[in-house]
Amino acid sequence: MEHKITISTEDPALIDQILNLIKGEQATYHLEKSENKSKENLVDIMDQIAASTPIHSIKDPLLWQKEVRKDNRLIGRD
Q: Report the percent of the chain where pLDDT is more than 90.
A: 5
Q: Which domain holds residue 33?
A: 12-68
Q: Is-contact 29 22, C-beta < 8 A? A: yes
When divided into structural domains, the chain yields a total of: 1
Q: Which residues are within 8 A (CB) of 71 and not within 5 positions of it... i.e. 6 or more apart?
A: none
Q: Is-contact 19 29, C-beta < 8 A? A: yes
Identify the three-state secondary structure at position 7: coil
The strand ranges marked E within the chain are none
Q: Round to whole Å and give the CA distance between 25 and 1.
A: 16
Residue 4 lies in a domain: no
The DSSP call for residue 51 is H
pLDDT band at 14 (very low <50, low <70, confident <90, very high): very high
Above 90 in pLDDT, residue 13?
yes
* Each residue's pLDDT tens digit, 16-37: 999 898 888 888 888 888 766 6
Residue 36 lies in a domain: yes
**How much is the pTM?**
0.40
* Each residue's pLDDT tens digit, 61-71: 888 888 888 77
Residue 63 lies in a domain: yes
